[in-house]
Chains A and B, each alone.
Chain A
């Protein structure tokens, strides 16, 4: 279980990193490396080069500007957990991040790395879907903004071009009427969940609006459930109907942990619990 041989490059600027990425089509970026290193040790991945972007200051930092919370791609999970800006403006992330792995992994794993890796069982992709985030990428021809809805394209696949690097995540700041919920069912603390739900929306009285339900560990990628969400909006909200609509929104898969049917049943339990915790009429 030793990694295969590869070359190591550590560019000193983002532009250099993008150039190197273009020059080495079989290279991989490494940020925190918490997923990549395991797959290298297992020889599941055999890149020609690793391009280490872990020290690029341009990708760091958490800021709020004009109603947008910007999280640098290299923000480590431990930083996300401790950030007062994130707690104030995207409390869903503060809640969710506790479920990501363990302290010794959160110290290295990065926000952007988790999104770019696009593991269907990871928490953060579902969170940025729920938060209606915009992901900012930089390539040879400059910056490109990709909505979270468009970003996750398949199993470990994203809309990033081969020579693009995810640099930041823009999230609309939570408003006073914002509500959120997060629950996952993991066998052991820090494990990937069997099913998980990150939800965000707005509440007026006991009614929800702009609800987004981001699911993970259900199907091949982090997925929104728009039909179920629609069934929970406004005065006609019905949890029962939303629960039914999940069958149209989600395509749960079979794996070692659970069958697709069990997953669907568990997804309905989570939906009920998350919505109930929001204290709305449904």
Chain B
């Protein structure tokens, strides 16, 4: 065995920016997305959705609609409930979390505008839409519970009478001694932070084709999704099937970001409908229904407090958080996780032991919220970093200096954060210094000064962050959800000497297939081009969690690496037998068995495979070759692999119009060992822009009747190329010792800190006006109101 680390192996692909396999297909329009899928006898389903945020269903009349051309079947909630059991989105480790049973189609009551009520199946989507205009639902409106503070009041009418009140979950945490720390502070600053409600707006909307084969008694679910085994488990459970009766395939997925990792009632309905009709049923959400049926996220208001001494020492953090999650906690991951993360993460990058937090998770009649890219992180980061800037301002200290003094030192690890989160090894200080090198702060300050003399207001903002990656069972498994935290990989040497890897992680464009191929090629010693990766099919991959929470590379990648090493051992055993050599004297390099010492080729893998598969008679009678190996992996030592980083934004605020122009963005992040640095950079950049969208543009806006009033792409503003800045990315590398490959996650770092540093930069730009804004999105109106120009 080589004593070199995987990175140093002579034919290593770890740490190399190689092109992802399969990209040519996508650039040529040859992708196979679920929305592209058309099966024989397939029906299209359209869901008639509730126009009201809260109402009782009095009657449903489908008689006219059934006469419409092309209509095959119309199904109501009551009828569907006989084929699909309801669910309750709770986890036992989130103590006290409660929710109500949720049906695939509403039965008796509707609880949000957009909740599916009736399914119309027709030969074409257009015909189904024609018919849905002729389905008459009589509703009796009920006053909706919309605003979260009033929903949380004692005595507020509960949305679900059986639950008693609208508080789904509450958590308090009190670490150290906040009161004593406050008393010992020179300044205590309080500030309210407001975070708009967002949604994912995956360019490919949610898409599913379910196909029940009556002869095989088997349901095939084609679903653009991140967690195929989770879907398999839940579809089987609620359709009263065995798991082996359900096969889930993901195909190419047109964007996900957490949107496609949940159980959606309309998708469950499609599975049940396919079984009821015995033929394929397709649902491809249109953009309008996506806005009111995809999960939403954020929507938090926090009252934050920070204490600081005149020497720059931060003495405590305190937050009181409230969030509105819609009428149900989403199944099976629950809608309490974001708030829980906010409590876990706030202040976690600073060496400040005194921390008090409360969060309240509140039911209301809006679209349900759940986990979306960087769950809780942007909120915790914005509050933490916003408060730190306010503390610096209070004592007249530079914002970089206060961070230098208070960020956890790089030699302090392992250690714990104030909420009890455990850090193996982070690099806040090194990341800060690297960032400063990249951005040339003195030059920026000079530019800022020069601009200010011209009446142009530019600002620089920083945000240090931590990111939760590689979660173990502590996320969901311990709470009772059948969501695997381990992943598996099977590596096979085929008869031509090529390699196939089946992995349980999934691909939505992050580069999952690429990193699996890279670690496998490295572990085995074969050229990358000889490795083919199979993902996203419960029939053809090991059991595992999928791709979410920045876990694909760190967990799925390690499983593939271990499987590759196992197969390598098997290959060398076989090679030793064929060559009558000691296996330890052999290695595999560039697809051939070679002499370990001098690298001389001894046996190409194609020849080895030929002997193993076609001439085993030439091998000793007691020797059986095993050219397929499977390994699974889950981190054991730490519940999560925390990563860290820091971002900075340079921007210009037009103080007359409130418009913000982003000039430049920098990120330094530490995801441990990058497997493919280019993919890491692009995850970071994409994540940053998702955070910039939240900072400047995106918000699901509601009226007081619980109607989403900007549910289209002309009014819900996503970030487009014209307004986004170039983003420079740098790295510090602190590998995790939990795995051989040392990789942590990188998928959410960009989103975690982008909004925070933009808000801080805006406040820096507006410092001459004495204005502080801690609300996103930072619309022109928000900026102008703060400047009191209106």
Contacts and interface: CB of A to CB of B under 8 A. Distances in A.
Scoring B133, B712, B722 by chain A CB atoms within 10 A of each residue's CB, the highest score goes to B722
A4 B656 CA distance: 45
B775 to A, nearest CB: 16
A187 B129 CA distance: 33
Contacts, number: 61
B244 interface: no
Interface in A76-133: none
Nearest to A46: B133
B656 A2 contact: no
Given A256-B710, A258-B781, A185 B130 contact: no
Nearest to B46: A2
A194 B723 contact: no
A256 B715 contact: yes
| Contact-residue bracket for chain B | 20 to 34
A119 to B, nearest CB: 12
10 contacts: A2-B126, A2-B129, A185-B780, A256-B710, A257-B781, A258-B780, A259-B781, A262-B658, A262-B790, A265-B790
Contacts of A42: 288, 712
Contacts of A43: 129, 133
A5 interface: yes
B286 A265 contact: no
A190 interface: yes
B720 A189 contact: yes
B656 A269 contact: yes
A1 interface: yes
A261 interface: yes
A256 B780 contact: no
Q: At the interface, is chain B mostly helix, strand, loop or mixed? A: loop
B720 A188 contact: yes
Interface residues of A, number: 24
A256 B701 contact: yes
Interface in B693-738: 697, 701, 709-710, 712, 714-715, 717, 720, 722-723
Contacts of B658: 262
A269 B655 CA distance: 10
Contact of A188 (B125, B701, B722, B784): B722
B789 interface: yes
Interface of A: 1-5, 42-43, 185, 187-192, 194, 256-259, 261-262, 265-266, 269
B781 A262 contact: yes
B197 to A, nearest CB: 14
Contact of A262 (B124, B129, B714, B784): B784
A265 B784 contact: yes
A188 B781 contact: no
Contact of A4 (B130, B717, B781): B130
Given A42-B288, A191-B717, A192-B714, 15 more contacts: A1-B129, A2-B124, A4-B130, A42-B712, A43-B129, A43-B133, A185-B657, A185-B780, A187-B780, A188-B697, A188-B720, A257-B781, A259-B781, A262-B780, A262-B781
Nearest to B124: A2
Contact of A194 (B125, B126, B288, B780): B780
Scoring A5, A258, A266 by chain B CB atoms within 10 A of each residue's CB, the highest score goes to A266
Contacts of B83: none
Contacts of A187: 659, 697, 717, 723, 779-780
B684 to A, nearest CB: 23
A2 B125 CA distance: 7
A191 B779 CA distance: 15
B287 interface: yes
Interface string B120-159: 0000111001100100000000000000000000000000
A185 B658 CA distance: 10
B52 to A, nearest CB: 19
